[in-house]
Amino acid sequence: MSAGRTVLITGAGHGLGLEWARQDLADGAVVFATARDPEDSPDLRRLAEEAGAALTVLPMDVCDDASVERCAGEVGSRVRSLDGLINNAGVHGPRDDRALRASAGELRRVLEVNTIGPYRVTRAFLPLLRNGREARVVFVTSRMGSIGDTPSGGSYAYRMSKSALNMLGANLARDLRSEGILCLVLHPGWVRTRMGGERAPLSAPAAVGGMRRVAAGATIRESGAFLDHTGAPVPW
């Protein structure tokens, strides 16, 4: 599915975003990999050296309007369309915040990155997606944002931000269905990344490989679905 496609990935400096870029490149895609500070990611720099012209690394802070608009302008000066947008950039925020211990400022920061950031990015790149072939927008979310999956307390900011992100993906899917642009809300599982920690059972290659298969195999009928990396539905 990646061969001949042009894809933009946010949060590609490490973890799931970096692995998604690596797998898309291996399948023949042209990739724009963005990170808030690419110079802070030696792994992304190494990947760029290996990939050559197939990979363009660009700075983009999903919390900054001007940064996102600059990146969209740069991508638009190089290509006339995008076939895929992977909204992967995210933060966890306070973990020990049971009974509302986190400040409003801490909550605001997580919402800015995890919810408003994907809104801002998707809005900026939507014109290029409208020119794409069977364009797909993926929102990398978390089962922790599920209200129907019996929340266990704590991680208020992260859970709230992902619940709101899920609503963004579900609504956008409905609005873009008539244009043939597919949106998916995907839970990668508990993954061994900086956020997931070493105890997580899934490797980044396995989680990303699963999400990529789900995204590639989805039809417009599945647009707006909340699925895990195996394609199984997740309760809202």
Active site amino acids:
158, 162
Query: What whole-number distance in Å separates Cα of residue 76 and Cα of residue 71?
Result: 8
Nearest 10 degrees: Cα torsion 117, 78, 58, 73: -40
Query: Which among 160, 161, 177 has a CA at the least distance from the CA of 225?
Result: 177
For 44, the token pair is 């992304």
Give the max Cα distance, the chain: 50
Query: What whole-number distance in Å separates Cα of residue 130 and Cα of residue 118?
Result: 17
Query: What whole-number distance in Å separates Cα of residue 211 and Cα of residue 140?
Result: 9
Residue 96 buriedness (CB in 10 A; 0-12 / 13-18 / 19+): exposed
Crossing angle, helix 117-130 and helix 65-78, to 10 degrees?
A: 20
> Cβ distance 47 to 18 under 8 Å?
yes
